[in-house]
A and B are shown apart, each in its own frame.
Chain A
């Protein structure tokens, strides 16, 4: 608590720089949103005008960023406590909570309206639901209430490829739901691996993370179970219209590596982990980033190849 008051008194100038507002949009998360939405858009069987596609991706990115700003507004109290988030614009005293709220709300409404005008109402509706889900369902409700917060909340990060697909097709299909499921099932092991080595942060903030409520041993087991469930889904997507031989090869390699990592995490205990400063957990967390990037790059490759008549299973 004393940390919080110290931090807020340092630089509450009310004169934030442009970069401070940009930081509210969570640029790193936004880059993942842009990439997965772009893959969803390009993997769709229907083409869109490049300008419409560019505008749609931009508005999806802005909508995702706006939900990030609203999340920072709501979570400002716990962001002040956690080491990882102490440098964010609100706890650092660069942007006031009111400014962040106004900024997030304005961009949310603007991005949804502009996406509806640029593409269609299905895509805009999905974007609106994503923002609502991330801010209200995840941030306001689940995050501080249940250790399954990241499991259900992960859905918010899984929507972008579905929105990209809807921009092109105007609807929802098995393939877009599969892309959603891929991110949805990937989020828990990815985030729990991070929780294992960001040790005391969530405990101090009072966020009921699985590591806090069920212990580290159980978290390690959960990571393994989710990775096992994720593998057939990720590999199975190879046999749909977004997959093909290239995707299958990438999925087989990445899932084998991810499964091995999850087994390694499961077999370790805290004594071993502390002895090598969570080397395996950090390795698996990094691998999880390559895992998602690899799968979506493979989907993109398949879509590009099919443009030359080389995609799919012939």
Chain B
């Protein structure tokens, strides 16, 4: 559901005008009261990083203002000139039109608007923005209005079509699509008759932030601030589930689970691509695994050819987006990053504040309507060049390979105040231990599965030490995300019988923390060596070099050894609570 926004709160939120934003002149000529709208537009300006300097022409004097030679409307600093005419005033005019003339009403009104356009054009180079009219039926003819050219609904719709024909053939004149905006929020929700009758304000206050935003987005585009690239996460964003764990057959796409919603979202992304928005992928995955749906899944709409830059690895996403930016050579402020994971969104927001990172709704079936309502991809042009842009950038991406950017990620991790709660396989965690061991395929060193019974058994075994790690940070409680089972061998070595973790929490230092715990356990037991082993499966390629990366040395039998004596605890930023 797309909701209205409190006018009072919106105006207050974007009140202070920071001087860092460039000043942009805007003129508003309206046939209804525009005082609230102007307030909301100033706020929308700040929200869109524009310092709007708005000239508000006197109430309901559009024509009078335009024939004044010295009107501030024609000031050279004005970049966008809005001529806002309301459906209410249009209806009044319709009522005053003799019945016999009503079939020409739309045509005549168009001529009036064109005349206003010419007047403005003769003295101004600003972008001219008219608006269309919200669809409404005055219920004089009911449904039959559609069959009766002299009815208001018939003329109104015809007028909207005539307006499109006009602006599509005229340079530098645009149409603000108020009709679709009203439809999106619902006509009954966006009207407040009290305000209209008392103050001649044609929309409810809480609809004005949406109107203002739509108008200001047009100003932003006129000033060249437009979005050029859509960066997509994959797991639980482009499909339901985790490709590395669930596999090609089980991810939600098509008829499976929420699959239809993801298919619709992909269709939208593809449409954007075809009109010139560059698509990039930024996913925490093995590259081979991440590509698989694009290559093989029958319900995927997006294919590898549609993606200009495809980044799938386990690096920090801000660094990956920096890489994408470098390859494409476009501004961060022209990039939109869509990811279901609040952690990733926050990393990117914090490190790359210019990238637009929408706060997605909880339910994936709402992703598409939500993103559409943000209206991020405004434009003022469309050329054949736009359609071919993806090819251009794909070639560029192939030239640029190699990724080794590192930011101040440590500081970021520290700021998250991550906490871990470490327990044995106590009864409360046993069901989740079993579940995690069944589901984890990627970060799983030996892929041993447990049932609840076998996990409980391990908990009571004198030869085993079991660890269950629960993780919490400022984004919430991730639950049990890691399990380790350690077995003491006869030769005073501690063998890591199993180590598995959920991929959701990678790159947060959990591995380092867990290794410290393992070595501590080994030292307490008097073991001089910790032995790890990697048993390869089709899905666990990501942990191939796990022990190597943690400082273990290769043993001739293929296992990995680490001396406990002189072990320097690995650095991490997690506060441990042991129970």
A binds B: no
Chain B residues near A (Cβ < 8 Å): none
Q: Which residues of A contact B (CB under 8 A)?
A: none
